Structure 1
Amino acid sequence: MVQSERAKMADGEWYACLDDDLGALRGVAADAVFEHNTLPPRQRGNLGPALRALLGGVGEGARIEAPFHCAYGFNIFLGPGTFLNAGCIILDTAPVRLGKGTLLGPNVQIYCAEHHKEAAGRQAGLEIARPVTIGDNACIGGSAVILGGVSIGEGAIVGAGALVTHDVAAHTTVVGNPARVVSRG
Structure 2
Amino acid sequence: MSDRLKTEKQKMLAGELYLANDPELRAENKRACRLLRLYNQTTETEQHRRFQTLQALFGAIGEKPQIVPPFHCDYGSNITVGDRFYMNYGGVILDCNTVHIGNDVLCAPYVQIYTAYHPTDPTVRLTGRELAAPIRIGNNVWIGGGVIICPGVTIGDNTTIGAGSVVVKDIPANVVAVGNPCRVLRAVEAPAVDQDSDASI
Q: What TM-score do you get using the length of structure 2 for normalisation? A: 0.87
Cα separation, 2, equivalents of 1:46 and 1:160: 31
Of residues 39-48 and 165-174 in structure 1, the stretch that sits farther from structure 2 once superposed is: 39-48
- What is aligned with 2:194? none
Gaps of 5+ in 2: 189-201
Confirm whether residue 158 of structure 1 aligns to residue 161 of structure 2: yes
Contact 1:35-1:48 within 8 A present in 2 as well: no
- What is aligned with 2:89? 86
Alignment partner of 1:49 out of 49, 52, 58? 52
Alignment partner of 2:9 out of 6, 9, 30? 6
Cα separation, 1, equivalents of 2:147 and 2:60: 23
Tell me the CA shift for residue 41 of structure 1.
Answer: 2.1
Residues 76/46 of structure 1: CA separation in 2 closer, same or farther (3 Å cut): farther
Q: Secondary structure at the match of 1:47?
A: helix
Confirm whether residue 23 of structure 1 aligns to residue 26 of structure 2: yes
Cα separation, 2, equivalents of 1:92 and 1:127: 13
Alignment partner of 2:104 out of 93, 101, 105? 101
Residues 13-70 of structure 1, C-alpha deviations (whole Å, 9 max, x = no match): 1111122221111111111111100122212448353332120111011121100000
- What is aligned with 1:138? 141
- What is aligned with 1:176? 179
Alignment partner of 1:110 out of 102, 106, 113? 113
- Equivalent residue runs for 1:48-87 within 5 Å: 49-87=52-90
Tell me the CA shift for residue 2 of structure 1.
Answer: 2.3
Counterpart AA for 1:125: G
Gaps of 5+ in 1: none
Q: Bigger radius of gyration, 1 or 2?
A: 2
List, as ranges, runs of 4+ consecutive aligned residues in structure 1 with deviation greater than 4 Å: none
Q: Secondary structure at the match of 1:35?
A: helix
Tell me the CA shift for residue 158 of structure 1.
Answer: 0.3
Q: Secondary structure at the match of 1:13?
A: coil
Cα RMSD of the aligned pairs, angstroms, is: 1.4
Cα separation, 2, equivalents of 1:141 and 1:131: 21
Cα separation, 1, equivalents of 2:66 and 2:84: 7
Q: Secondary structure at the match of 2:46?
A: helix
Residues 156/2 of structure 1: CA separation in 2 closer, same or farther (3 Å cut): same
Tell me the CA shift for residue 154 of structure 1.
Answer: 0.3
Confirm whether residue 129 of structure 1 aligns to residue 128 of structure 2: no
